[in-house]
Amino acid sequence: MPTPHNSAAHGEVAKTVLMPGDPLRAKFLAETYLEDVQQFNAVRNMLGYTGTYKGKKVSIMGSGMGMPSIGIYCHELFSQYGVEAIIRIGSCGAIREEVHIRDIIIAQGSCTDSNFAHQYELPGTFSAISSFDLLEKAVTLAKAKDVTYHVGNVIASDVFYHADQGSAAKWGSMGCLGVEMESYALFATAAHLNKKALTLLTVSDSLVTHEETTAEEREKTFTAMMEIALEIAE
């Protein structure tokens, strides 16, 4: 059954969905790597595709920006379409000196300044972590591909233009490797629904060195991260 934000019919979405923030990155990835591609969603221009990669069925769909947006899409995919695993393939800003442009961050966990977890009415603070099964596979493949990668914590923020200009440095001082805006909601939703989730991030800019990539580079050149996600899709 279609949902308010997804027009896919039953069976049109694979068990594993790769989820970039940018729907145009989803389009590029589907057209570049998948065979027998079918578009299953265009509601609000949040493009979704299903095809095959090396003989296995894989879906790719944009999530939009921020936790409210990815929270909607991942919840609908998990709860209405039988999706078992979502791998976020996004970009982030580096907030540690040792993390450089185009390095890959494999998010072991996600901190947040959001109140996303209030809905679960927990008597404390929920630590949002990735699926170890997917994490282990991603690390093994990153080693085999000889790419520069880091495994650790990230900060998923509600705020892009932060009034506290020292905010990122504070999270970096606690060991967070990068800042982005979606992973906490993805991990929390997966935990709530007993599903699997992982976040792979390519560093698009550095809040330490102030280097940055262009929008087109973010859309079309973060292929090492994309290939790892495609390989570990179940």
pLDDT digits (tens, 9 = 90+) for 127-169: 999 999 999 999 999 999 999 999 999 999 999 999 999 999 9
**SS3 string of 188-230?**
HHHHHCCCEEEEEEEEEEECCCCCECCHHHHHHCCHHHHHHHH
pLDDT computed for residue 216 by the predictor: 84
Cα–Cα distance measured from residue 74 to residue 225, given in angstroms and rounded to the nearest whole number: 20
pLDDT computed for residue 177 by the predictor: 98
Domains of the chain: 16-232 (3.40.50.1580)
pLDDT computed for residue 53 by the predictor: 98
The b/e string for 96-110 (b: 16+ C-beta within 10 A; e otherwise) is: beebeebbbbbbbbb
* Residues in a beta bridge with 155: 111, 179
pLDDT computed for residue 154 by the predictor: 98
pLDDT computed for residue 217 by the predictor: 85
The answer to whether 5 and 46 have CB atoms below 8 angstroms apart is yes
Chain centroid to CA 212 = 19
**Is 146 among the residues known to form the active site?**
no
**Residue-level pLDDT, tens digit, the chain, 234 residues:** 689 999 999 899 999 999 999 999 999 999 999 999 999 999 999 999 999 999 999 999 999 999 999 999 999 999 999 999 999 999 999 999 999 999 999 999 999 999 999 999 999 999 999 999 999 999 999 999 999 999 999 999 999 999 999 999 999 999 999 999 999 999 999 999 999 999 999 999 999 999 999 988 887 888 999 999 999 998
The answer to whether 81 and 13 have CB atoms below 8 angstroms apart is yes
**Total-model pTM:** 0.96
- Collapsed DSSP state (helix, strand, coil) of residue 175: coil
pLDDT computed for residue 215 by the predictor: 84
Question: β-strands 35-41, 48-53: how paired?
Answer: antiparallel
Cα–Cα distance measured from residue 37 to residue 14, given in angstroms and rounded to the nearest whole number: 12
Longest dimension (CA), the chain: 48
pLDDT computed for residue 107 by the predictor: 98
pLDDT computed for residue 162 by the predictor: 94
pLDDT computed for residue 37 by the predictor: 98
Single out the catalytic residue among 22, 36, 164, 205.
205
